[in-house]
């Protein structure tokens, strides 16, 4: 069989570029504030998810659930096609380990005491940044810094910040790659999703006789495996062994013996796109479609009504019956709008709303409580329903039934 050609080119610069992009994106999202609100943040106090310009109340969290399911199935789909590319190219654990290794290499020539001090300060700085970044997804950065400076961060946020910083510090100081090799659940999930056509790193068996047995690939591996022994669960698809091998063979004006491959090109016809991949892709497309439908059919505003706390009912001398209610209005759009409350006609009755029901101004993503009375003449029977409409721009955007009490 004819040997495969030796390949050249390094993947390290591409991997570092992806890591920098993903890290800066995660750090910057809380600071992006279209309309003065965070691009993505969970406001636990109001049980509201700020999601790319929209505010999702707790009753709309089914949309957030769909987003989570999309992320889960996308994760599985990408793993089936590209293996542990997440681990080697995007995972924050890998990025933090690389940053810790970087400071280790830069301080290796220092005396023991200053070397240890610089490394520990670097670990503490990274830990504090990671912890703060996590809290920023619950408390907007301007508010976070103001509360941190005044010592009023709060018990929940303060404990979350401190615990996260401690865990990350211990990880950097004592764990790092051991986590990837031992307890990381994603490596085990990979076993359930991998196919013969999944992207993996391979030591080219057709060029085994060309191996110099220099051990460069083993020394470069962050998890300490020997790629020459075949596919192993500890491999995170980072490509460091590939670069190390190609660096060695570059001195001989040739390429390396390691490359990425979508499985062996055997008679079984292994390929990345197979029935299982198509099934996962179909589920993913269905969920995306479901999310699109949910977002596009999302109501512009909501209206909820309940009887006034007093439960008072009045009968007027002219034979009219008056019920009192409280209406809760919510503008789900990102811009301010004017609303009005209107009662639908009821055959045989004169229906009138009494109270501040016209020209109700609501800011974007704001809500408001309105007290009003419903006056009906003549007095209707117990259990009569009147439709209350929320109108904006001449269009009914929400409605709610008003049960009429006769006593």
At 334 the pLDDT is: 65
Domain ranges of the chain: 1-31+83-264, 301-403
Q: How many C-beta atoms surround the C-beta of residue 126 within 10 A?
A: 20
At 5 the pLDDT is: 44
Which CATH superfamily groups domain 301-403?
Immunoglobulins (2.60.40.10)
120-137 pLDDT per residue, tens: 999 999 999 999 999 999
Q: Which tokens hold the place of 25?
A: 């994106």
At 374 the pLDDT is: 93
Residue 352 makes CB contacts below 8 A (sequence gap 6+) with: 343, 374, 375, 376
CA distance 290 to 69: 11
- DSSP one-letter code for 355: S
At 165 the pLDDT is: 96
At 26 the pLDDT is: 94
Compute the mean pLDDT over every residue in the chain, rounded to the nearest whole number.
86
Cα-Cα-Cα-Cα torsion 79, 80, 84, 86, nearest 10 degrees, comes to -20
Extract the residue ranges of the chain whose pLDDT is less than 50: 1-6, 267, 269
If you search the block for the tokens 């301010």, which residue do you land on? 336
At 49 the pLDDT is: 79
At 2 the pLDDT is: 39
Q: Which tokens hold the place of 21?
A: 């992009």
Q: Which tokens hold the place of 26?
A: 């995660």
At 272 the pLDDT is: 61
Residue 181 makes CB contacts below 8 A (sequence gap 6+) with: 223, 224, 234
């Amino acid at each position: 069989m004819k040997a495969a050609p030796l390949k050249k080119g390094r993947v390290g610069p591409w991997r570092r570029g992806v890591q920098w992009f993903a890290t800066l994106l995660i750090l910057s999202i809380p600071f992006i504030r279209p309309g003065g609100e965070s691009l993505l943040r969970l406001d636990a106090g109001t049980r509201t998810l700020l999601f790319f310009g929209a505010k999702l109340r707790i009753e709309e969290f089914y949309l957030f659930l769909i987003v989570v399911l999309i992320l889960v199935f996308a994760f599985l789909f990408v793993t089936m096609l590209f293996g542990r590319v997440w681990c080697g190219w995007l995972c924050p654990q890998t990025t933090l380990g690389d940053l810790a290794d970087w400071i280790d290499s830069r301080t290796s020539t220092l005396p023991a005491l200053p070397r240890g001090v610089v490394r520990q300060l670097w670990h503490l700085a990274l830990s504090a940044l990671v912890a703060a970044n996590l809290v920023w997804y619950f408390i907007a950065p301007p508010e976070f810094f103001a509360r941190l400076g005044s010592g009023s961060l709060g018990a929940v946020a303060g404990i979350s910040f401190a615990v996260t910083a401690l865990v990350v510090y211990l990880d950097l100081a004592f764990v790092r790659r051991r986590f990837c090799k031992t307890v990381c659940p994603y490596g085990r999930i990979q076993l359930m999703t991998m196919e013969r056509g999944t992207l993996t790193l391979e030591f080219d068996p057709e060029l085994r006789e060309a191996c110099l047995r220099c051990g460069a690939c083993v020394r470069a591996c962050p998890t300490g495996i020997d790629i020459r022994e075949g596919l192993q669960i500890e491999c995170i698809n980072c490509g460091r062994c590939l670069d190390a091998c190609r660096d060695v063979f570059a001195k001989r004006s040739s390429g390396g013996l390691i490359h990425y491959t979508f499985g062996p090109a055997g008679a079984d016809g292994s390929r990345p796109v197979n029935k299982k991949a198509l099934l996962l892709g179909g589920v993913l497309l269905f969920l995306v479609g479901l999310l699109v439908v949910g977002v596009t059919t999302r109501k512009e505003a909501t209206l909820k009504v309940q009887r006034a706390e007093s439960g008072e009912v009045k009968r007027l001398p002219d034979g009219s019956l008056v019920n009192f209610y409280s209406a809760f209005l919510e503008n789900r759009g990102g811009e301010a709008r004017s609303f009005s409350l209107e009662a639908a006609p009821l055959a045989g009755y004169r229906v009138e709303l009494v109270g501040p029901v016209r020209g109700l101004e609501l800011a974007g993503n704001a809500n408001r409580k309105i007290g009003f009375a419903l006056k009906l003449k003549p007095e209707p029977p117990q259990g009569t329903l009147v439709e209350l409409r929320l109108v904006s721009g001449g269009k009914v955007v929400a409605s709610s039934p008003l049960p009429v009490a006769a006593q």
